């Protein structure tokens, strides 16, 4: 394993165009470097398998930039689900919606090209929801899915030329997890008014947990009780009781932000490198 030395390059962070991720990451691993790769790690399943094999051969540590997994309140939600706070999970409902491609006048870019970007809303947004969903519900067994491209062409900036959009603006799926439980999945980059709306619900036999990314320091939980006069959702505010929130702020309800999640992600990766564990 490559040591973290002051005089040597130990970690390569891949944040280039999507089509370059696999090639750069494999080269770095073959050179004995630990790799943090932005999503998507690859454009095809075959490329992803090549990268996985390279990581195993290298003995180096790797991480993909799913920073939403680093949110302390998400980690608390996962703990609650796995400990049975809402009974046995029976259904998942999730969505990730933004509006950065909602305007038909938004200019054409490389993100519309399959050979450069790969997937559209799925690769840019939906993969985050997949990472969260599997942490809560386990691996996916089967899907019944559909996609749509809302704006088939876009204008090239500064000209009258229009070029085709080769990937999806919207994707939806009915899901069956390996546990036998079911789920609904939706992602869109053409949802007007949505800025970073990652939302999910886990329905259980004794309650329910809900989360909305635009209120990323809050968790809603409903637990079935005998007292119907007290029925209702309860809000849990992130605080020092949800590590590593306390490393940023000593007071609950004061809020962590997106950049703090990237810091936690990097911290987890460095710990994995130093200790030989998983990020």
Q: Assign 131 to helix, strand or coil.
A: helix
* 174 found inside a domain: yes
Distance CA 214, CA 187 (A): 15
pLDDT score, position 6 = 45
Could you tell me the pLDDT band of residue 5, with boundaries at 50, 70 and 90?
very low
Q: What is the CATH number of the domain that holds 56?
A: 3.40.50.720
Q: What is the CATH number of the domain that holds 138?
A: 3.30.360.10
**152 plus 269 within the same structural domain:** no
Residues 91-132: tens digit of each pLDDT: 999 999 999 999 999 999 999 999 999 999 999 999 999 999
For range 258-274, the mean pLDDT: 95
**122 plus 77 within the same structural domain:** yes
**269 plus 249 within the same structural domain:** no
Residues 193-249: tens digit of each pLDDT: 999 899 999 999 999 999 999 999 999 999 998 788 888 999 999 999 999 999 999
**24 plus 127 within the same structural domain:** no
Residues 147-161: tens digit of each pLDDT: 999 999 999 998 989
* 118 found inside a domain: yes
**46 plus 93 within the same structural domain:** no
* 42 found inside a domain: yes
Place of tokens 């939980």: 221
Distance CA 141, CA 182 (A): 10
pLDDT score, position 113 = 96
Q: Are 263 and 65 in contact (CB under 8 A)?
A: no
Its domain, for residue 44, covers 11-67+260-275
**Where does 207-277 have alpha helices with state H?**
258-275
pLDDT score, position 277 = 60
Could you tell me the pLDDT band of residue 264, with boundaries at 50, 70 and 90?
very high
Could you tell me the pLDDT band of residue 7, with boundaries at 50, 70 and 90?
low
Contacts of 107 (CB under 8 A, 6+ apart): 154, 155, 156, 157
**86 plus 50 within the same structural domain:** no
For range 4-20, the mean pLDDT: 82
Report the domain count for the chain. Answer: 2
**173 plus 264 within the same structural domain:** no
- pLDDT averaged over the chain? 94
pLDDT score, position 228 = 83
Residues 51-81: tens digit of each pLDDT: 999 999 999 999 999 999 999 999 999 999 9
**97 plus 197 within the same structural domain:** yes
Distance CA 99, CA 213 (A): 15
Statement: residue 179 has pLDDT above 60:
yes
Statement: residue 191 has pLDDT above 60:
yes
pLDDT score, position 55 = 96
């Amino acid at each position: 394993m490559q040591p973290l030395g002051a005089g040597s390059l130990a970690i390569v962070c891949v944040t280039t165009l999507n089509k370059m991720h696999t090639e750069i990451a494999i080269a770095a691993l073959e050179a004995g470097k630990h790799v943090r790769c932005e999503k998507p790690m690859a454009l095809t399943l075959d490329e992803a398998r090549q990268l996985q094999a390279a990581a195993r051969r290298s003995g180096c540590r790797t991480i993909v930039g799913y920073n939403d997994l680093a949110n302390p309140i998400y980690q608390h939600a996962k703990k609650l689900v796995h400990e049975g706070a809402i009974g046995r999970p029976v259904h998942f409902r999730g969505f990730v919606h933004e509006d950065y491609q909602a305007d038909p006048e938004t200019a054409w870019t490389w993100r519309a090209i399959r050979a450069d970007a790969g997937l559209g809303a799925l690769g840019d947004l939906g993969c985050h929801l997949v990472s969260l969903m599997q942490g809560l519900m386990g691996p996916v067994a089967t899907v019944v899915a559909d996609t749509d491209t809302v704006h088939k062409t876009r204008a090239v900036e500064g000209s009258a030329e229009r070029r085709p959009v080769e990937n999806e603006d919207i994707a939806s799926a009915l899901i069956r997890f390996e546990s036998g439980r079911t789920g609904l999945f939706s992602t869109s980059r053409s949802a007007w008014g949505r800025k970073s709306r990652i939302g999910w619900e886990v329905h259980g036999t004794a309650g329910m947990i809900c989360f909305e990314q635009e209120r990323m320091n809050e968790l809603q939980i409903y637990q079935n009780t005998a007292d119907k006069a007290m029925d209702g959702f309860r809000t849990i505010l992130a605080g020092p009781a949800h590590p590593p929130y306390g490393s940023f702020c000593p007071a609950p309800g004061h809020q962590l932000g997106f950049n703090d999640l990237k810091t936690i992600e990097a911290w987890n990766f460095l710990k994995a490198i130093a200790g030989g564990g998983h990020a």
